[in-house]
Chains A and B, each alone.
Chain A
Amino acid sequence: MTPSVREVLQGCTLAIVTPPSADAGPEYAASRFGMVAMMLGLAATEAEHAAQAAAAENADMRAVFAGLAPAYDAALGGRLSAAAAETEASLDVPVLDEANARLRRLLIELHARIEDAGDAAANRAIVSLYGRMAQLRQMALPSG
């Protein structure tokens, strides 16, 4: 997922150590540092949950693929079954994200096929998956 916690922290560090330009007024500086503070708060939460969220999302997509694979031809069904049988190579976030990107691309292709076929039940299953994916990635602002 982008940006990663590493990228966010890199950006926050840059924002803190880079001197403001001569034309930056106090309002601008306060706004910028307020934003950095908020990013750090979000990064703290994300660092704790990112691996779990990515692994859970990947597992959810694989479970949906496993359920729907038999309904498709050998080409797509075979890829769905293969993806469903995969396990995580590592719980490092970059590795999980690589797998996530592959699974998401397959999900996009699968959903388009489901729509073309007019399969309402499968469509609801995918849309329900989207809701769970969004919930897994939910972020709460430090104030709320």
Chain B
Amino acid sequence: MSGLADAIAAYLSRAWGEPVAVERLSRISGGASRETYKLDAVTSTGTRPLILRRDPPGSLIETDRRAEFLALKSFHGRVAAPEPLILEEQGAELERPFFVMRRIEGGAASSPFARDAYAPHEAKLAEAFFGTLGRIAAADPATLPIAELGALPSPGDCWRRELDYWAGVIDADELHPQPIVRAAIRWLRRNPPPPAQKLSVVHGDYRSGNFLHDGAGRIIAVLDWEMAHVGDPLEDLGWAMDPLWRHHDPDRVAGLTSKADAIAIWERASGLKVDPAAFRWWELFASVKGQAIWISSAKEYRDGGYREPILCFSGWYTARRQDEIIAERLAELAA
């Protein structure tokens, strides 16, 4: 057994009050902001298939593992969210904070840059993908475990809080001047959206590539809740529809369906309406948030000694593509 497997076994044995052996520990690709491992925890009563997500020494974005854990706790059983089992914020035997959730077997995640990733089940997956997001938006965050994170924002402050945060990330991490995203930030500040029609749980990274599907049109797990927070439900919808996640298909948001169809599915599932003017703001914001993440990843790639290829990809190709998207949006707004 490896040192990490020994440490996990020691932790689980202590947490569960019985001897635990760790088998088939294997690191898997699970995003750039956490080290993700799959493992089997074997006890006298059986084998539990688990996923462990541990903070890396340096990460793509600074995320709140407690928020991720509470978001999973909020939506496990409501949508296809994995069951969260353990949150360890001090690190204990594993030295860095981590959490453990039940592993969901048998699904596949598709790269948002792959072409025709969901054929021939796009229509069914579109219903599942945007319907799930609508159900997340419909839930009342005040009644969910995620409310433990603290005071909820006021509906009129959601946009400002998010924009301030991500503009601050750009201020802190920009290595080369970025006039295109700076122009977008100024436009967003001059043209604020109306207050959120309701407060919702915002997944924070709800997009193609962040769900497992069964290959037959069913979503079996929504992943990567690490940026979850309470805010305007249009935030997630704008992010999910960003052209970056369209699998190179300009006509199908998330590589799944038309924008109008996606909005219709979301409105049916959420019981909410998409105000076009408000949504235009959140669409541009999504691209700004994306660029903030890619700028941050370029900095972390450099600061981390150029060791993580995913940080390089995000800070390079993805950042360039995001600039194209923002420039196109600014041109539409200036016309």
Contact = CB atoms under 8 A, between A and B. Distances in A.
A3 interface: yes
10 contacts: A2-B315, A7-B302, A8-B312, A14-B307, A104-B176, A127-B183, A127-B334, A130-B179, A130-B331, A139-B320
Nearest to A22: B2
B320 A134 contact: yes
Given A3-B316, A131-B327, 6 more contacts: A11-B308, A11-B309, A15-B307, A101-B176, A111-B179, A133-B180
A2 B298 contact: yes
Interface residues of B, number: 49
Interface string A118-144: 001001101110110111011101011
B25 to A, nearest CB: 6
A108 B184 CA distance: 11
Nearest to B315: A3
A120 B298 CA distance: 34
Given A134-B323, A139-B317, A115 B301 contact: no
Contacts of B115: 143-144
Ranked 9 nearest A-B pairs via Cβ = A25-B26, A11-B306, A104-B177, A35-B309, A31-B29, A134-B324, A134-B327, A130-B327, A2-B175
A39 B315 CA distance: 11
Given A97-B176, A133-B180, A32 B309 contact: yes
Interface string A32-53: 1001101100100000000000
A73 interface: no
B320 A137 contact: yes
Contacts of A63: none
B28 interface: yes
Interface string B295-330: 000100110011111101101110011011011101
Interface in B218-252: 248
A25 B3 CA distance: 15
B295 to A, nearest CB: 9
B87 interface: no
B113 interface: yes
Contacts of A7: 301-302, 306, 312
A133 B175 CA distance: 17
A3 B302 contact: yes
Nearest to A29: B27
A90 interface: no
For the complex, would chain A's binding face be called helix, strand, loop or mixed by DSSP majority? helix
A91 to B, nearest CB: 19
Nearest to A107: B179
Given A127-B334, A139-B321, A28 B307 contact: no
B231 to A, nearest CB: 27
Contacts of B331: 127-128, 130-131
Contacts of A25: 26-28, 38
Given A7-B301, A137-B320, A112 B180 contact: no
Contacts of B180: 130, 133-134
Nearest to A120: B334
Contacts of A32: 29, 309
B29 A28 contact: yes
Contacts of B190: 115
A24 B37 CA distance: 9
Given A27-B28, A124-B334, A139-B316, A39 B179 contact: no
Given A3-B312, A15-B309, A28-B29, A141 B317 contact: yes
B92 interface: no
Contacts of A10: 306
Contacts of B328: 131
A2 B313 contact: no
B177 A105 contact: yes
A108 B306 CA distance: 29
A10 B298 CA distance: 14
B4 interface: yes
A32 to B, nearest CB: 6
